[in-house]
A = this chain, B = another copy of it.
Amino acid sequence: MSVTAARGFQAAGVAAGIKASGRRDLALVRNVGPSRVAAGVFTSNRFKAAPVVWSIDALAGGELDAVVLNSGGANACTGADGLADARDTATVTASVLDSSPDRIAVCSTGLIGVRLPMDAVVSGVKAAAAELSEAGATAAAEAIMTTDTVSKQAAAASEAGWSVGGMAKGAGMLAPALATMLVVLTTDADLTAEQADAALRAATRVTFDRTDSDGCMSTNDTVILLASGASGVAPDAEEFTAALTHVCASLARQLLADAEGASHDIAVTVVNAATEDDALDVARAVTRSNLFKTAIFGNDPNWGRVLASAGTSRATFDPEQVSVSFNGVKVFDRGGLGEDRSLVDLTPREVVVEIDLAAGPEQATVWTNDLTYDYVKENAEYSS
A308-B45, A380-B294 known; A79 and B335 CB under 8 Å? yes
Kindly provide the distance from the CB of A262 to the nearest chain B CB, expressed in whole angstroms. 12
Which of A304, A310, A377: most chain B CB closer than 10 A? Answer: A304
Kindly provide the distance from the CB of A310 to the nearest chain B CB, expressed in whole angstroms. 7
Residues of A198-239 whose CB lies within 8 A of B = 214-219
Flag whether A41 is at the interface (Cβ < 8 A).
no
Q: Mark A268-298, 1 if CB is under 8 A from B, else 0.
A: 0000000000000000000011110011011
Flag whether A34 is at the interface (Cβ < 8 A).
no
Closest to A173 in B: B291
Across the interface, A307 reaches (CB within 8 A) one of B112, B303, B380, B383, namely: B112
A336-B79, A379-B291, A383-B300 known; A308 and B373 CB under 8 Å? no
A side interface size, CB within 8 A: 58
Complex-state Cα separation, A337 to B77, whole angstroms? 8
Q: Mark A296-325, 1 if CB is under 8 A from B, else 0.
A: 011010111101111111000001100000
Complex-state Cα separation, A313 to B46, whole angstroms? 8
Contact, CB under 8 Å: A297 / B215 = no
Flag whether A372 is at the interface (Cβ < 8 A).
yes
CB contacts (< 8 Å) of A44 on chain B: these are: 312
Contact, CB under 8 Å: B307 / A214 = no
Residues of A162-210 whose CB lies within 8 A of B = 173, 178
Closest to A304 in B: B112
CB contacts (< 8 Å) of A375 on chain B: these are: 290, 294, 376
Contact, CB under 8 Å: A214 / B47 = no
Contact, CB under 8 Å: B294 / A219 = no
Contact, CB under 8 Å: A379 / B294 = yes
Complex-state Cα separation, A288 to B214, whole angstroms? 10
Flag whether A149 is at the interface (Cβ < 8 A).
no
Kindly provide the distance from the CB of A317 to the nearest chain B CB, expressed in whole angstroms. 8
Kindly provide the distance from the CB of A162 to the nearest chain B CB, expressed in whole angstroms. 37
CB contacts (< 8 Å) of A313 on chain B: these are: 46
A46-B319, A290-B290 known; A219 and B311 CB under 8 Å? yes
Kindly provide the distance from the CB of A283 to the nearest chain B CB, expressed in whole angstroms. 16
Across the interface, A291 reaches (CB within 8 A) one of B45, B78, B214, B308, namely: B214
Kindly provide the distance from the CB of A176 to the nearest chain B CB, expressed in whole angstroms. 11
Closest to A74 in B: B304
Flag whether A371 is at the interface (Cβ < 8 A).
yes
Flag whether A42 is at the interface (Cβ < 8 A).
no
Which of A47, A217, A294, A310: most chain B CB closer than 10 A? Answer: A47
Complex-state Cα separation, A305 to B215, whole angstroms? 12
Flag whether A384 is at the interface (Cβ < 8 A).
yes
Contact, CB under 8 Å: B216 / A77 = no
10 additional contacts (CB under 8 A) given A47-B311, A215-B288, A295-B383: A47-B310, A74-B304, A79-B320, A112-B304, A214-B290, A218-B308, A294-B379, A298-B379, A373-B376, A375-B376
